[in-house]
Amino acid sequence: MKIKDLRATPVTVPLEAPLRHANGCHWGRFVRTIVEIETDNGLVGLGEMGGGGESNDVAFRALKSSLLGQDPARLEELRLRIANPTASLYNNRTQILAAIEFACLDLLGQAWGAPVSELLGGRLRDRIPFASYLFFRYAHPKTGAGEVRTLDQLVAHARRLKSLHGFSSHKLKAGVFPPHYELECYRALAAAFPEDRLRIDPNCTWPADWGIRFGRAIEDLNNDYFEDPVFGMEGMRRVRERVKIPLATNTVVVNFEQLAANILKPAVDVVLLDTTFWGGIRPCVKAANVCETFQLDIGVHSSGELGIQLATMLHLGAVVPNLPYAADAHYHELADDVIEGGKMKYEGGAIAVPASPGLGVRLDRKKVAEYHELYKRLGSYPYDRDPLRPDWAPTIPNERWADPADSRIPQIPQ
Ligand SMILES: [Mg+2]
């Protein structure tokens, strides 16, 4: 089997409402690039990566000549061809490598009649539990609905998601409003769901003293972990020394050098593995195996996926033993997907690991065309800008918080 063609198609898919986060906002939609690798025996493997448009298009075009004629089974050869450690100093292609690895694994699974989880050692679980992943949200610019800003709105939103999808673990995406307000929000969730588990992630925006104060103020709750309260290994280590909750990161341990550093001098207890950030599913499995040896736990991280990347997260979650926590996904925030059959379903807070060969998802060509057209109309959006605070820029640590009393609706094209 040889690679015959490589295609990258940017799409934008609507969200229920704009999602606010510490670095800015998802402006009512996600922008993703769908990657297709076609082989000489007529198979098409699927990959996905964040962002879209010209830069991704150019990057994939540039790689095409070195991938044509290659065997998708030779994944280590492809890794070194695309992103060897020293060439990567000049061309950071980790996320591109990830999208190509997804597509190659999908091809191998189809060719050999096995789901990707079987290629990776075989599944230990058939369903992956997910957390509710609660964002503060602006109201939808067209409908005016969907705002999450006040304590009551946040708890009502969590109740709705729990009743729709069955979540029993809740993650608050924080770092938007002043920390004392977000502490009230987190404690309101704890009071509303006394049987459920909780986690909070302010995306490294707090100074170390607030990380410690906040951590100590929630030690009595049913926490899964405390995710990236501050930036940097040393900052995390300071918080970890003073707070009795496991610390988790998807920020300071995102490659093997950092994983080694964290093992030699621990700063975090839970490594949240992102199939995109780490360059594919296989490096995540390898990292999980290293973590297992050193008795560190892992989580499955979400960087804003459509169904293809969600499938990679499900196959990863299926094969790693040291996964005691519900996975994260932005997926339930999406209004639609580009895969056949529409969005995957949550049942009892979990999604079934696809059982058909490869990643187990196929493209709905009509949807891809529709959301490619929408991308052409709307283009990309600035992830690190807040539509209602044009003069604001995210700083780490931050002190210029959004105002929880501000109920304006951003007028952004949808
Ligand atoms: Mg995070």
pLDDT digit string (tens) for 202-229? 999 999 999 999 999 999 999 999 999 9
User: Is residue 67 over pLDDT 90?
Assistant: yes
pLDDT above 90: residue 55:
no
| Domain range summary for the chain, segments of one domain joined by + | 3-113+365-378, 118-352
- Greatest alpha-carbon pair distance for the chain in Å reads 59
Going from the C-alpha of 173 to that of each of 11, 17, 21, 152, 203, the distances in angstroms are 25, 15, 7, 16, 8
Q: Which residues carry out catalysis?
A: 173, 301
- Report DSSP state, residue 387: T
Q: How far apart are CA 251 and CA 203, in angstroms?
A: 8
pLDDT of residue 277: 96
Residue 53 has pLDDT above 80, yes or no: no
173 Cα to the center of ligand 1, angstroms: 8
Residue 280 structure tokens: 């594919």
CA quadruple 248, 249, 254, 255: dihedral sign: negative
Residue 127's alpha-carbon distances to 97, 138, 348, 349, 351, in angstroms, are 27, 32, 10, 10, 5
Contact 68, 1 (CB under 8 A): no
pLDDT at 51: 85
CATH number of 3-113+365-378: 3.30.390.10
What distance, in Å, lies between the first and last C-alpha atoms of the chain?
A: 42
Q: Does the pLDDT of residue 238 top 80, yes or no?
A: yes
**pLDDT more than 90, % of the chain:** 95
Mean pLDDT within 96-116: 98
Q: pTM here?
A: 0.98
Average pLDDT in the chain: 96
Chain segment 164-204, per-residue pLDDT in tens = 999 999 999 999 999 999 999 999 999 999 999 999 999 99
* Distance from the alpha carbon of residue 376 to the mean position of ligand 1, in angstroms: 30
Given this model, what pLDDT does residue 90 score?
Answer: 85
How remote is the C-alpha of 264 from its chain's centroid? 27
Query: Over the stretch 273-312, which tens digit does the pLDDT of each residue have?
Result: 999 999 999 999 999 999 999 999 999 999 999 999 999 9
Is the confidence at residue 237, as pLDDT, over 90?
yes
Distance 100 CA to ligand 1 centre (A): 24
Q: Which pLDDT does position 354 carry in this prediction?
A: 98
Q: What are the DSSP calls for 157-224, one per residue?
A: HHHHHHHHH---EEEEE-SSS-HHHHHHHHHHHHHH-TTSEEEEE-TTBS-HHHHHHHHHHTTTS-EE
Name the pairing type of β-strands 297-300 and 127-129: unpaired
State in Å: Cα 201 to ligand 1 middle.
6
CA–centroid distance, residue 251 to ligand 1 (Å): 7
Output the pLDDT for position 366.
98
Which CATH number is associated with domain 118-352?
A: 3.20.20.120
Q: For residue 326, report the distance from its CA to the centre of ligand 1, in Å.
A: 14
Q: Could you give the CA distance from residue 281 to residue 311 in angstroms, rounded to a whole number?
A: 10
For the CA atoms of 175, 181, 207, 257, what is the dihedral angle to 10 degrees? Answer: -40
Taking residues 345-355, what's their average pLDDT? 98
Residue 199 CA, ligand 1 centroid: distance in Å: 10
| 250 neighbors 298 (Cβ within 8 angstroms) | no
